[in-house]
A = this chain, B = another copy of it.
């Protein structure tokens, strides 16, 4: 009896539909898909060009599909596709949406207002985000995903043990660390340029689909783009339905997915590598109150002193800078490991500040880095 687990025989399984996402969803039968993953336009509101310090220009997301006249226009767009999405979703189905601070708050509120029930928000921490070139803000190093069931009472699917296994035997947290999509995984178009400005990494979709679907389930992606959702769904033995307005994206996605070789049903094993010990900035010792601004540090040889400042730099005699810089300056050395060089006093004894760093690392104990 090889019926699809979801009994969705009327659906256009494993195809990419053209058209506007809300209208295309309205043409599908209601209560019919298990999961929806949506990567809607972020409504970035970029003004002029942005240059890097080397004067090259940043290739911005300036596509027509990301242009909205106002918050109200974006909200109307959002509420419309959410309404259509909720209709095609099975009663026990769930929704994922990804966004950035530009749009995710509006989207999240609309998800709640549409009747979905929030289960978690998940932070995708990027290991290699684009820096903030002007030094005017924090590096925008993450995006946010919202996971919601169709209704408060939905019996949503969550493969708790699978995710625990993915996380070396401890519960999966709500912050996920992945690199952005680069290298061979990044699709190129016929002209050799990046095919899509916002292609998501397959690792992200992999974790998400392992967590909240089973083999045979139907995953709908109303903003299909170059088909990352379809590629990962096929590899993992899930069915996909994509909706994409632009023919060029549809063609690229179809070719990409055709190249995917599904994993053997038994082999959904994932390798997780232990990372090097996480980097702990000296400033954290100050922020956490382990060292007070104004407190005096001593060099290991007892010859030099410096005072801690509130931003995690040291002020010595005629020198200022990081723990490494001030140590190096005192010793007249080209470099210096400040962690072992500097000591603080506790109960009359001189303790290297590295002991405090170790304490923080012990607390972190997070293999996902």
Contacts and interface: CB of A to CB of B under 8 A. Distances in A.
Nearest to A283: B166
A277 interface: no
The interface size bin for chain A is 35 or more
Interface string A130-148: 0110011111111010110
Nearest to A319: B369
A227 interface: no
A142 B123 contact: yes
Interface stretch (A16-24, A30-38, A249-257, A264-272): A264-272
B106 A120 contact: no
A245 interface: no
Contacts of A59: none
A138 B109 contact: no
B101 A171 contact: no
A174 B115 contact: no
A81 interface: no
A313 interface: yes
B178 A288 contact: yes
Contact of A310 (B113, B201, B268, B292): B268
Given A55-B336, A310-B210, A142 B174 contact: yes
Nearest to A131: B171
What is the count of identical protomers in the complex? 2
A125 interface: yes
A264 B311 CA distance: 13
Of A101, A271, A322, which is in contact with the most chain B CB atoms at under 10 Å from its CB? A101
B315 A266 contact: yes
B173 A141 contact: yes
A337 to B, nearest CB: 9
Nearest to A206: B287
A5 interface: no
B119 A172 contact: no
A160 B36 CA distance: 39
A179 to B, nearest CB: 6
A135 B166 contact: no
A129 interface: yes
B55 A312 contact: no
Given A105-B109, A106-B109, 12 more contacts: A101-B118, A101-B121, A105-B146, A123-B125, A127-B366, A144-B144, A203-B284, A206-B289, A269-B309, A269-B315, A270-B310, A270-B311
Q: What are the 3 tightest A-B residue pairs by CB atom distance, in nearest-first order?
A: A105-B108, A166-B283, A267-B293
